[in-house]
Structure 1
C-alpha cells in the first residue's frame, strides 16, 4: 500500500507538469519540446549548475549539452550567468519566462501543501516534514541536487 500511494502521488505531480507542457498557448518559436522541458527542469533542480555539471547529471557530452543549453537561451528560458568568483565559469539559471509558462507545476505543490496543512494537525504536518526530510537527506543518496 505504501508503494502504491507514493507512486500515485509522484505520478499526479508528474501529470500536473505534463498537462501544463501540453496545454500551453505559446508561440511556435517559443514552445519547448518535451526534451527541452526536461533539460530546464534538471537545470532548475540542480540549482544554478555549470554547463559541465548539467552535462554530467544528464549524461550528455559537453558539446551536446552546450547545444541544448544554447537553444534554451535563444528561446529565453535559461540564462548563463558569469561566476563572481571565477570569471571563466558560467552558471545556468531558469528564467521567469519559464516559470510563468511551464513552472506552474510548482504552484500545484503549494496548493497541495496548503491542503495538507488544512487537513492535518500541526503535529501531523511536523511529522510529515520530518519524514520527508529523512527521505531527502538519507534515503535517496543516488540523486544529488543542489548543494544541500
Structure 2
C-alpha cells in the first residue's frame, strides 16, 4: 500500500509537470530535476556535500551545478562563517517548480486531518517518525536539511 501511495504522489507530480510544459520545452532534464530535489532536501549543501551525498565526483557535481546555475534554478551563496565556502540555494524559479509537488502533499495532508481522529493522526505521526529516523538508515540528511 505504501508503494501505491508513493506512486500516486509521483504520478500527480508528473501529470502537473507535463501539463505545464505542454506548449514549451521543459528546461530541466530528468537528472537535473533529481539533483535539484536533492539540493532542496539537503538544505543548502556545499558542492562537496552534494557530490558526497549523491555519490558522484566533485567535478561531475560541479558540472551539473554549473548547468543548474545557467538555467537559473540554483545559486551559490558565500558562507557567512567561512568565506571560502559556498552553499547551493534553490532560486525562486525552482521553488515555483517544486510547489507543484509540495502543494499536492499539503492537500492530501489536509484531507487526512479532516478524515482521521487526533488519536489516529498521532499514531500516524509516530509511525512516520520511526520510518524516517530508524527504518531508513541509508538516507542520512543533515539536520539543517530535512525539508521533506
Superposed pair shares fold, TM > 0.5: yes
| Conserved? CA contact 2:73–2:93, under 8 Å | yes
Runs of 4+ in 1 over 3 A off after TM superposition: 25-28
If the length of structure 1 is used for normalisation, what is the TM-score? 0.89
2:13 is the counterpart of 1:17: yes
1:63 pairs, out of 59, 63, 74, with 59
- How many residues were matched structurally? 143
Higher relative contact order (CA 8 A, sep 6+): 2
Q: Is 1:145 paired with 2:138?
A: no
Structure 2 residue ranges without an equivalent (≥5): none
Cα displacement (A) at 1:17? 2.5
Q: What is the CA–CA distance in structure 1 between the aligned matches of 2:17 and 2:52, rounded to whole Å?
A: 25
- Once residues 75 and 119 of structure 2 are traced to their aligned partners in structure 1, the CA distance between those partners, rounded to angstroms, is 41
Mapped contact 2:17–2:100 kept (Cα < 8 A): no
Query: So what's the TM-score if we normalise by structure 2?
Result: 0.89
Kindly state the Cα deviation for residue 16 of structure 1 after the two structures are TM-superposed: 2.3
Higher mean alpha-carbon deviation, 9-18 vs 46-55, is at: 9-18
**Alignment match, 1:90:** 86
1:1-148 correspondence runs (5 A):
5-25=1-21, 28=25, 31-147=27-143
Question: Counterpart of 1:103 in 2: which secondary structure?
Answer: helix
Summarize deviations over 1:19-38 as a string: whole Å, max 9, x none.
Answer: 3333333864x711111101
Distance 2:62 2:99 in 1: 22
Partner of 1:81: helix, strand, or coil? strand
In structure 1, stretches of 5+ residues that fail to align are none
Q: Distance in 2 between matches of 1:62 and 1:122?
A: 46
> Residue 55 of structure 1: SS of its match in structure 2?
helix
